[in-house]
Amino acid sequence: MITPSSLHFERHHAGVPRIDPATHTILIHGLVTHPLVISMQDLRRLPSVSHVHFIECAGNSDEEHEGHPAATPQSSHGLVSCSEWTGVPLGALLEAAGVQPAAKWVIAEGADACRMARSIPIAKALDDVIVAYGQNGEALRPEQGYPVRLVVPGWEGNANVKWVRRLQLASAPAMTREEAATYTDLQPDGKARQFSFVMEAKSVIIRPAGGQQLDGPGEYEIDGLAWSGRGRITRVEVSTANGSWRDAQLQLPVLPKAFTPFRLQWHWDGRETILKSRCTDESGYVQPTREELVAARGMQPGPDGFDHFNGIKAWRVAQTGAVTGV
Partner 1 sequence: MFRAILAFSLAVVTVATSDHPIGRAATTGEIGARNLTVFADGSGLPAGSGTALEGKPIFEARCARCHGMRGEGSADYPALAGGIGSLTTTHPVLTVGSYWPYAPTVFDFIRRAMPYDAPGSLTQTQVYALTAYILRINGIVSDTLRLNRTTLPRVRMPNRNGFIPDPRPDVP
Q: Which residues are at the interface with partner 1 (CB under 8 A)? A: 13-14, 25, 27-29, 34-39, 42, 46, 93, 96, 107, 109, 113-117, 165-166, 168, 170, 172-177, 180-181, 184, 186-198, 200, 283, 285, 288, 292-293, 296-297, 300-303, 308
Identity of the residue, 75 or 194, whose beta carbon is nearer to partner 1 in the bound complex: 194
Give SS3 for 203: strand
**Three-state secondary structure call for residue 274:** strand
Which residue, 84 or 109, is less far from partner 1 as judged by CB? Answer: 109
- Supply the DSSP symbol for 43: H
User: Which of 225, 316, 317, 296 shows the shortest CA–CA distance to 65?
Assistant: 296
Least Cβ distance, residue 296 to partner 1 (angstroms): 5
Q: Is the peptide bond before 303 cis (omega within 30 degrees of 0)?
A: no
Q: How far is the CB of 94 from partner 1 (least distance, A)?
A: 10
Length of the chain counted residue by residue: 326
> Which of 53, 115, 119, 105 lies closest to 84, judged by CA?
53
Q: Which is nearer to partner 1, 167 or 222 (CB)?
A: 167
The secondary structure of 114-131 as a DSSP string is T--EEEEEHHHHHHT-EE
Name the minimum Å distance from CB 63 to partner 1. 18
Nearer to partner 1, 10 or 42 (CB): 42
Closest to partner 1 by CB, 191 vs 271, is 191
How far from 213 is each of 76, 81, 252, 269, 320, CA to CA, in Å? 18, 24, 29, 15, 8
User: Nearest CA to 124 among 142, 139, 104?
Assistant: 104
DSSP-derived letter for residue 162 is S
Min dist CB 15 to partner 1, Å, is: 10
- Report which secondary-structure segment, H or E, holds 42: helix 40-45
Give me the least distance between CB of 308 and partner 1, in Å please: 8
Q: Is the CB of 28 or the CB of 275 nearer to partner 1? A: 28
DSSP strand pairing (105-110 vs 117-121): antiparallel
By beta-carbon proximity to partner 1, the closer residue of 208 and 288 is 288
3-state secondary structure of 10: coil
Q: How far is the CB of 297 from partner 1 (least distance, A)?
A: 7
Q: Is 67 exposed, middle or buried (0-12, 13-18, 19+ CB in 10 A)?
A: exposed
Q: How far is the CB of 42 from partner 1 (least distance, A)?
A: 5
Provide, rounded to whole angstroms, the least separation between the CB of residue 269 and partner 1. Answer: 33
Choice between 25 and 251, CB closer to partner 1: 25
